[in-house]
Amino acid sequence: MENRLPVIITRELIIYPSVVSPVMIGRPFSLKAAREALTLNKQALFVTQLNAELESPSSMTDLLEYGTVGLFIQHIVPPDGSIRAIVEGLEKVRITELVYQDDTFYAYYEPVELLVPENPDIGNYVRLLREYFAKYIELAKNVPEGAFNVFDESADPWGIAFKVLNALRLKFDEQIELFRINDLGDLLRRLVDILLREIEFMNLKINIESRVSEEIKKYQKQYFLQQEIKEIQKELGTTEEDEFDNMEKAIRDSLMPEDVKKKALGELNKLRRTPSMSPDSTVLRNYLDWLINLPWGVYTEDNLDINHAREILDEDHYGLEEQKERILEYLAVLKLKGEVRGQVICFVGPPGVGKTSLAKSIARALNRKFVRISLGGLRDEAEIKGHRRTYVGALPGKIIQQIRRAGSSNPVFLLDEIDKVGQDWRGDPQAALMEVLDPEINKFFQDHYLEVDYDLSQVLFITTANTTYTIPKPLLDRMEVIPIRGYLENEKFHIAKKFLLPKQIRASGLPDGTLQVTAKAVHRIINEYSREAGLRELERQIAKITRKAAKIYADENKKIKVSAANLEEFLGQPRYRLRELTETLPAGVAYGLAWTEFGGEILRIEVAKMDGSGKLELTGQLGDIMKESAKAALTYIRTNYLDFGLERDFYNKIDLHLHVPEGSIPKDGPSAGVTILVAMLSSLTGKTVPSDVGMTGEITITGQVLAIGGLEEKLLAAKRHGLTTVYVPFENKKDVDEIKKDITEKLNIKFVKHVSEIVKDVFNF
């Protein structure tokens, strides 16, 4: 007959055989089992649950399959009704069945036979266990008092193993794993390994604590030695005070405002009283170093000769006449007024058109120092205004850093890519920039690190951006925008011949007269290898030619001539194909004109019709505004179907698919509305649009053509891509009148008020 006992379920506690352990019993089903055991033979089966967070185990799967028969030695019942007892483990058993009866768990079990094999290794492991456990007790601070004495009295190897296991502070999962072992040799080996691990850990911990203590003593020793050195230096007449005296002299001789001098001298007094080995000493020295070395009251003398400025600008840049004129006007005001307050220039234009180089030219013309910071991707306000000195490794912001680097308080300061400033939880750099650029308050600019006012009112701030749309209005309001458009082919040609080619020949190390690039070759580079608004790709292609020419010259020591005929030997196959103006576009295709922050672009819009039920499919990463334009265009066509020779229910028999190529690039804006409508009509009627025709304009569902922006860049793109006729909203006529004739010449610009004018002209309806 199997044995049966009431079960007391424990949490994160294993009762081991041969071990006396305290137990607190509080859950109702365990209390009933304990009371029953106490009234009978004082024996119960102690089993631990696998998940300590489980409040009420319900089956054998919740419990460890092994338990221990325990004998109540003594117990007390506190006022809260729980039972606190001392229990001696008698034997390890395996549970065969668990039953729940009368709110009490009972278990049927069978004893686990714990054999001691006749193996000499067992005795050796027991000796090791005694030795390592003694060392463990010596090092550990949390072993119960008297644990070794109780363990030493036992001669049973299993009893020794269980007592060591009970004394070790192991994770509960590891205790369960070890209690499941029924092979004595395996259990002893595992315990020896665990003791070695714990001893090694405690030795490491003791060593670390010892080193920390030694460092503290070392610091105290250094402090006392430093004091002795000071006394010796006093006797010799050379003290650290000499350094402090030099710092004080530098502060008093500087042109700092009086309030800043007062603060600097106060910080110097703190430094005198601070031990040199203290971390605070380093912080104070760095702070005073920044205050002393800033160019307080240091200004370069301006060269305000307008003719000199014009020569510098013409020397550094070809074209850009309007922009140069604006700059000269700005300098004239500076000359007459004698200050730059209220003047912040913002150059806006595509990449590579010379925004940064214009700022450098202004600095050279004025004879001022030039410094720059890039704001692209900046998200931390502290990058502008610095960190407070309480932070480890704190420094002033980029504004103060660059002022110190310039060595004067009136440099030309370029804030590059101001349209790409971001913001996140670290603050809003754009708000900090408003303080920097506001002429009313930047005289009292206060960096978080310096904590004193620094006068930025004499700094000539210049900013650059690809677009103004992402610049907050309050920040944009503080700047005078000077737009810089892309370059015409003729301008690119002269820039390449006059600036880029000589520059790259010098950079490649070629002697003068070694490389000749013909005019036709330059035109071909511009049209077939670098079709862009700016000049960077053009310069890269020229640099590629000069590098290959340098290799040829180094190998063969001969002159090189690059012509339109042999250009591909230097640059490979052309990246762009010149547009054939006589070719016919497929039905459903029309060219629109788009504005991007990289300049004007040609937008190819394609529409295909197919049998269907009136669906409109839009692809090519179109934004919401562009999708609305497509729906408005289709509504206009359906409303005026008779004008286009379409059946009344044509829409119900077909599906239209509108696609704008280069699908990886997002596209949005209302100015493609006219082009979308023309492409749809071309697809529906089968009539084609001439390949040299482009158009731009926002449409309404009644067919009105509304004004658009970025017209100069769009016309420049049309000219660059070989279009000859461009349809433009009538409301933009005033803008066309202000555009340079170099751009509009040879372009047949037609102004339209209603989309029917374009349809009639293109399709002859």
Contact 114, 159 (CB under 8 A): no
Q: Distance (Å, rounded) from C-alpha 108 to C-alpha 630? A: 80
In order of 168, 698, 700, 701, 727, the CA distances from 705 in angstroms are: 86, 6, 7, 10, 10
Answer yes or no: 746 catalytic. Answer: no
Using an 8 Å Cβ cutoff, are 632 and 674 in contact?
A: no
Main-chain phi, psi angles of 413, to 5 degrees: -115, 115
Buried b (16+ CB within 10 A) or exposed e, 606-645: bbbbeeeeeebebebebeeebeebbebbbebbeebbeebe
Residue 671: active-site member: yes
Question: What is the rounded distance in angstroms from the CA atom of residue 144 to the CA atom of residue 154?
Answer: 17
3-class DSSP state of 687:
coil
* Chain-centre distance for alpha carbon 566: 46
Please report, as a single letter, which amino acid is at residue 334: L
Q: How far is it, in rounded angstroms, from Cα 157 to Cα 565? A: 97
Report yes or no: 403 and 409 within 8 Å, Cβ to Cβ: yes
Under 8 Å CB-to-CB from 118, ≥6 apart: which residues?
none
Q: Given the residues 355, 398, 492, 714, select the one marked as catalytic.
A: 714
d(CA 594, CA 404): 44
**What per-residue string of b and e applies to 689-725 under the rule 16 or more CB within 10 Å gives b?**
bbbbbbbbbbbeeebbbbbbebbbbbbbbbbbbebeb
Distance of CA 560 to the CA centre of its chain: 47
Q: Which two tokens stand for residue 442?
A: 């930047």
3-state secondary structure of 607: strand
CB atoms < 10 A from the CB of 427, how many? Answer: 16
* Burial (CB count within 10 angstroms: exposed 0-12, middle 13-18, buried 19+), residue 473: exposed
Residue among 508, 671, 682, 683 flagged as catalytic: 671
Q: How far is CA 482 from CA 229, 359, 466, in A?
A: 63, 12, 12
Distance of alpha carbon 309 from alpha carbon 16, whole angstroms: 95
And the tokens for 418?
Answer: 């101001």
Instruction: Please say whether the beta carbons of 682 and 688 come within 8 A.
Output: yes
Distance of CA 617 to the CA centre of its chain: 36
Active-site amino acid positions: 671, 714
